[in-house]
Chain A
């Protein structure tokens, strides 16, 4: 569906958003120069679907912390064990992979909206979910909400809002691609109905049509910079010009689709060359996300002031990322592989 001018064998996470055309190509500039020494926090990125090269690129671009929301992995899971192993990877392997590059890795845990439609499995997942919500570094319930806006999606959205309330955890709400405006309103209304404080709820994947209502009702508004199907970052610049930086945050939602893990630093650079004040850039690409998800008590803010020194004593062995005797940094432009 959608983008007749682009190959989409690999349906993106945001499949189905047909209204948007590829944005005009920006005049290229050396964006890394613009943001040298700055730090970023990407509150929505699915590293489980990315390569180790991406971790290196994130570290090089100044991304010091990330949040990996639990999501749909591209095809439906067939049993509880695969769910559990996926959750385990978010608090285990990915956390460790990230630490190799000095990046703080956090996650939100939840039953995503698509798989909420498999009621039998959803019931089993809900049984084990509370255990994961109390783990170290779990900064919220997410990403939950609506996709097709079915009755089952609503049932498990509500149940998970209750879990968030009980654990005093922030909620990361995925808003639907189809019938977005109404889906977003419904998500917020239900959260309020369950007695959640809007300051504990991050409404994700906003656009120009949804942002005003989200901010007016006191929620956090997250914007996903995702090529072709979501926000482009030129549009993001305009949003910040219009609404300022309060309670607004930017993420990449990079996953297994055609996406860009460097969307946050690139957007910061674009904002800078287009005259957005630096304190506002810092708010939307770093501080606001930390403040919002930090309400979980699980973010170590002092670790986010810089990339953490990579502890060489925790290097990998064998057929994985860092091998014994290998330098952790390789020259990507070199033909010679040592």
Chain B
């Protein structure tokens, strides 16, 4: 089973990379063909990654969310899933330029932390943990997409403001489209983040973790939640759009990435499993 998994992962990796090359080429050539080819590559890679994760699930006997390897691989899978849905619904494919490399980075990190499946520690043998992780990952994927759209928005905004029109015109999605995408993605992610944090809190209480609220991961997650809540308020009530909300989306994402890339590996808290 492990072999199958590895082969699937590698092919998924190659397909994502191929998809990214297509998207990058599309930016210069603006041919529909490369765009479609890129989408096809990413979709095929995602299917392979799904199969690889399924294989891992069968091998480990539990959902593949324990330890660096599994959680990073699942995260990249979730990002691409969210991207595929959004690209299909909104036809904003240029996002692939950001989302696909992000997925590749997470896959690379996952490979660096490859470990055979670990046995579940008692603390993780719980349905509520699966809900917690599932919710958080969905939220993270949505926020990553939002952050990417926000980043592209800011770059395009600066280019248009400085009148560097040529490189942008007709290549990137319009500012309005990106702005709406940021809004939709954040508003999709926030309920999942809320539920994920709630599920985690419930589990921590039940399991009797002392001072769980002082954990760096929890603190960063709450800060991110506050930023996104502020985003939704500013957008709906105060009528903020464009640059300001884009910065908020990026700030929230930085907090979330800090959890995954800094807090979990370096600031040891109770969230470190499968090491």
Question: Do the two chains bind?
Answer: no
- Residues on A lying within 8 angstroms of B by beta carbon are none
- B residues within 8 Å of A by Cβ? none
